[in-house]
Amino acid sequence: MAERIIMPKAGMAMETGTIIKWLKEVGDKVEYGEPILEIETDKTSMQVEAMNDGYILSKLYEAGAEVPVVTTIGYIGEKGETPPAGDAPAPAAPKADSAQEAAPAPAKSAPAKGGKEYDIVVLGGGPAGYIAAIKAARLGAKTAVVEKSALGGTCLNRGCIPTKTYLKTAEIIHEAMEAKKRGVIFKDLSYTVNMKDVVAEKNGVVKKLVSGVTGLMKSNGIDVYQGEGRIQKDKTIVIDGKERVSAEKVIFAGGSKVSRINIPGIDSPAVMTSDDILDLEELPGKLVVIGGGVVGVEMASAFRAFGSEVTVLEMMDRIVPGMESELSNVLKQSLKAQGIDVRNSVNIEKIEQKGQKAYVYLKEGEPVEADKILLSIGRVPDLSGIEGLDVAVDERGRVKVDDGMKTSLDWMWAPGDSNGRTMLAHAAFNMAEIAAENAMGGHEKYTGKYIPACIYTTPELASVGLKEEDAKKTHDVSIGKFFFAGNGRALASGAGDGFIKVVTDSKTGEILGVHIVGPCAAEMINEACALMTMEITAYEVPTIVHAHPSFSEALMEAVADSIGESMHLPKKR
């Protein structure tokens, strides 16, 4: 099948390019990446490379022609193939570079009716939504986003970014408390935390990032509608019950909402969600956290540093149960060392408000007193945007999608938290690009194979791939481990607690899983993801030179230990 050669968009301001000369003639064989012509822009001269193997079938413009960006200027295909006749029309609103425009345009269905019409409308402006919109626009689609709150979604406004801002403040406090060990003597180590200033700093960070996303929408020519959208079966989106926009294709990225439990007293004024606590301008004397998952332990760590007495109640037998049990145990001991009361295997009977205090009653033991209670038991997909729409949803309230993010409707895709596959912002980014590619006619698939999970407590936790117990079900495994107590950078930084655990296939050296508890875990896990994605084996990792001293050396040593080759551990028998 003939593939287009297009005038690339080599910069945001570039609108046209001039063909200087063709380096290949009709009938010449070309390979992927081989220069085929030279062009001139208003800033520079450059070569355009072939995006696929084949033969030059036609040249639609000759040397000297000034051509709008992303216009088809020729075709590459099989030898003897007849190219499409005539010039391909330039897109009305070009937004893509040559690599991105290679995706086919969306198939046209019957025109949608009602309001302004678009090729693609994205419902939801969170991580999945705004990335899907950008990708679609850069692939040439006339695109709009409908967002009921603020661009950036839960992650940017009420989740990932605000919580990390709080945890950085907590980290500063921890560092100040440790300063005496290094000979730094403060006259007075007592401190108070002004929550209004903490909230203001968080809001400032959020505002900058929301502004950045808004700028991205503008620079990519994406229309943004503010209001609560509802997708209709005729492919229109009704905004706040009044305004309508129409679409050829719809990407539903409704995100998630806080999960709740049905126990007496859950509607007490003392009970907050993870959304509420980030706007709390008065520090609670006693904070009870219901749920020892990621958000629960992060907020417990932050508010303990701020000065609250904190109790964490988790119904499972360990906190952060999605992580390796060894990592959970290290984190629990660290939280206890910070003065946090962590209780596992608890059953909550009711919450009772008595004046300004609230009490959490357990089936076992005395009730726990609280000024505020954080309900942090996870999130569930928010499907309000598709109410009444005949789209397949599973028994847990998640939109059913295939590996290409397509729903049961042939015109709708649902990346991100909506489908509940991997409820992480970085997974949503990946799913969003796949959804947009496929809405534009592509055939991409989401594997979710090497998606890292991170917890930003002190110490940090990070994990990717299989846990040891799961790997043993399908592989003969070998375990490598390196403790930060043996890492020079960690000791110099006063961060010698924790370790890196690597699970490999003992026969092939394939890296099956990496699990980290310790300093910079959320950064180092990305190297592990890269190694696993590139299928680099445990035998090859020790040959990759790592800077010394660095935390990342511990990863290399842990991998090497899995094959008995760590140079900084006693020789294995």
Contacts of residue 2, defined as CB under 8 A and 6 or more positions apart, other chains included, come to 57, 75, 76, 77, 81, 83, 84
Q: If residue 297 lies in a helix (H) or strand (E), which one and from where to where?
A: helix 294-306
Q: Are the C-beta atoms of 135 and 432 separated by less than 8 Å? A: yes
Q: Is 34 helix (H, G, I), strand (E, B) or coil?
A: coil
Q: What is the DSSP letter of 67?
A: E
Contacts of residue 506, defined as CB under 8 A and 6 or more positions apart, other chains included, come to 475, 476, 477, 478
Q: Are the C-beta atoms of 128 and 418 separated by less than 8 Å? A: yes
Amino acid identity, residue 123? L
| Tokens 């909506």 sit on residue | 418
Q: Are the C-beta atoms of 112 and 246 separated by less than 8 Å? A: yes
Contacts of residue 455, defined as CB under 8 A and 6 or more positions apart, other chains included, come to 294, 297, 298, 320, 323, 331, 461, 462
Nearest to 50 by CA among 76, 73, 70, 20: 76
Amino acid identity, residue 306? F
In the set 174, 475, 515, 548, the catalytic residue is 548
CA separation, residue 312 to residues 48, 166, 320 (Å): 59, 18, 12
Please state, in angstroms and rounded to a whole number, the distance separating the CA atoms of residues 546 and 554. Answer: 10
| Tokens 């193997």 sit on residue | 53
CA separation, residue 502 to residues 366, 377, 530, 540 (Å): 41, 29, 14, 14
HEC secondary structure over 163-221 = HHHHHHHHHHHHHHHHHHHHCCCCCCCCCCCCHHHHHHHHHHHHHHHHHHHHHHHHHCC
Could you confirm whether 548 is annotated as catalytic?
yes
Amino acid identity, residue 344? N
Q: Is 506 helix (H, G, I), strand (E, B) or coil?
A: coil
Q: Is 544 helix (H, G, I), strand (E, B) or coil?
A: coil
Residue 308, phi then psi, degrees to nearest 5: -80, 150
The burial of 354, by beta-carbon neighbours within 10 Å (0-12 exposed, 13-18 middle, 19 or more buried), is given as exposed
Strand 116-123 to 243-252 pairing? parallel
Q: Is 127 helix (H, G, I), strand (E, B) or coil?
A: helix
Q: Are the C-beta atoms of 301 and 170 separated by less than 8 Å? A: yes
Q: Which residues are designated catalytic?
A: 548
